[in-house]
Amino acid sequence: MSMAAPKHTIVLLQETASKSTRTFSDFESVSDAMNGICQLYEQRLKQMNPGVRNITYDITELYRFIDELGDLCCLVYNGTGAYEPHNKQWVKDRVFAHLKRMANDQHSAVSSEFGGHQEDGLHGGINQDSVGSVARHVMVAPPISRTARHGCTWTS
């Protein structure tokens, strides 16, 4: 089984209706970009809940956050010298697949470590229920590392 080469991805984000909130982040892969979008939401949760040590959210809350953004799109390098644009629905589909893959990877790692039995109370983890819903647990105390480069703002 061959692994596809990572595709450089640029996330264009406008938090509100105001053009002054436009920013971009670039990532080495689509997976890194989806993780960055999750981390952006997690930072927002931390700001809204400064006294809470552990925060859990599910995919529907993340979808609502994405839908409420003024604008969000991803430009993904296609390997031929151009970037293909993708909308919010594409982002939601990829975020779900990303979190589901992380949940499966984590479950496999935990099962191996504990002889096939998953231990309760994993913090900073991801859970997937039998119908495919994904929830993510966030440790609030340690900062979340980001792999993206930030700082540029669109001008109108």
- pLDDT for residue 109: 63
Per residue of the chain (156 residues), give pLDDT as tens.
446 678 999 999 999 999 999 999 999 999 999 999 999 999 999 999 988 888 888 899 999 999 999 999 999 999 999 999 999 999 999 999 999 888 888 766 654 444 443 333 323 444 444 344 445 554 333 333 333 333 333 333
Residue 58: closest CA among 17, 99, 93: 99
In sequence order, what E strands does the chain have? Answer: 9-14, 22-27, 54-58, 71-77, 83-86, 126-128, 134-139
